[in-house]
Amino acid sequence: MKDSLQRFVFEHAPIRGEIVHLDATWRAVLEHHDYPPALRAVLGEMMAAAALLAATLKFDGTLIMQIQGSGPVRLLVVECTSEHHMRATAKWSGAQVSGALRDLVGAGKLVITLVSDSGRQSYQGVVELEGAGIAGILEHYMQTSEQLATRLWLACDTSQAAGLLLQKLPQRAETDTDDWQRALHLASTLTGHELLELAAPQILHRLYHEEDIRVFTPRPVSFRCSCTRERVTAMLRMLGHDEVKSILNERGTIDVNCEFCNRKYQFDRVDAEQVFAAEHPLHAGATRH
Ligand SMILES: [Zn+2]
């Protein structure tokens, strides 16, 4: 099954939906870290949820979905760009990574950030973790931050992650309750197995063959890490010349691993001097004379 997002709308009710399937995209995330099974299950659902949420937004940039925890799992991060390029990672410690989401992260926060293509943060929403699982937490977030009634169904295994989103559009709030309830009821008959195994058109037929549904062209989703040597260079500049020199004196080289894709960036003494020389070309020129 291809990695894709499938948008659909109800023709006669203010309800829209998205279905996501992540196949190679999810496996690329799993290849980069050996996640404990309980953490993997949560991260896969979060991947599907982030893709669904990004698909409902009109923006050019990156949606960053973070769960900041106080348990054995300190951080879960999933990013999805408006081009539907995704990456994800998690930080955890110890062997006690088991159980449901709350056992993993303890008390914590969901943080949703939008960063524009120019790198500027354009929006940030923070809520306490309320609701059951990733779907419940996101539904709570959408209700409190966006005032949008949204329901999510998420599933993942070791090779794929998938999700279904339904969202009630704000207009005609009084008259559409029955349509919304029927759409939710039908969606809730979908099993996790069906969500993973059926293609989006099959899911829509299985749930809504009696409804008038408009289906849009599917959009591809893929894993892509945005890390570059230029970005690592910018990070070293922020660290400062003295700190960089002190690391070089201690270790001989500066080695930076991208936590999303494991790519290794190495800077030796000459590279490091260039990082700072490029920042102060006049100063560097002056010292040569
Ligand atoms: Zn990377």
Distance 217 CA to ligand 1 centre (A): 30
Per-residue pLDDT of 129-153, as tens digits, reads 998 899 999 999 999 888 889 999 9
Distance 187 CA to ligand 1 centre (A): 36
Whole-prediction pTM: 0.90
Per-residue pLDDT of 211-262, as tens digits, reads 999 999 999 999 999 999 999 999 999 999 999 999 999 999 999 999 999 9
CA distance 261 to 263: 5
**SS3 state of residue 120:** coil
Distance 184 CA to ligand 1 centre (A): 38
If we measure between CA atoms, which residue out of 2, 23, 50, 63 comes closest to residue 217?
A: 2
Q: For position 147, what pLDDT does the model report?
A: 87
Distance 101 CA to ligand 1 centre (A): 26
Task: Give CA 196 to chain center in angstroms.
Answer: 18
What would the DSSP string read from start to end of 250-285? Answer: HHSSEEEE-TTT--EEEE-HHHHHHHHHHH-HHHHH
Q: Which alpha helices (H) appear in the chain, and where do they start and end?
A: 24-32, 37-56, 101-105, 133-145, 177-187, 192-197, 200-208, 229-239, 241-251, 269-279, 281-288
Q: Are 87 and 66 within 8 A, CB to CB?
A: no
Distance 22 CA to ligand 1 centre (A): 19
Which residue do the tokens 């980069």 mark?
32
Distance 227 CA to ligand 1 centre (A): 4
Partnered with residue 52 across adjacent β-strands are none
Q: Are 222 and 24 within 8 A, CB to CB?
A: yes
If we measure between CA atoms, which residue out of 241, 183, 230, 234 comes closest to residue 207?
A: 183
Residues 6+ apart with CB under 8 A from 14: 168, 169, 170, 171, 172, 176
Distance 248 CA to ligand 1 centre (A): 23
Do the strands 222-223 and 85-92 form a parallel or antiparallel pair, or are they unpaired? parallel
Distance 262 CA to ligand 1 centre (A): 6
Distance 226 CA to ligand 1 centre (A): 6
Cα end-to-end distance, the chain, whole Å: 63
Per-residue pLDDT of 72-102, as tens digits, reads 999 999 999 999 999 999 999 987 788 999 9
Which residue do the tokens 């609701």 mark?
131
Distance 151 CA to ligand 1 centre (A): 32
Distance 176 CA to ligand 1 centre (A): 45
Distance 66 CA to ligand 1 centre (A): 17
Q: Are 236 and 36 within 8 A, CB to CB?
A: no
Distance 195 CA to ligand 1 centre (A): 30
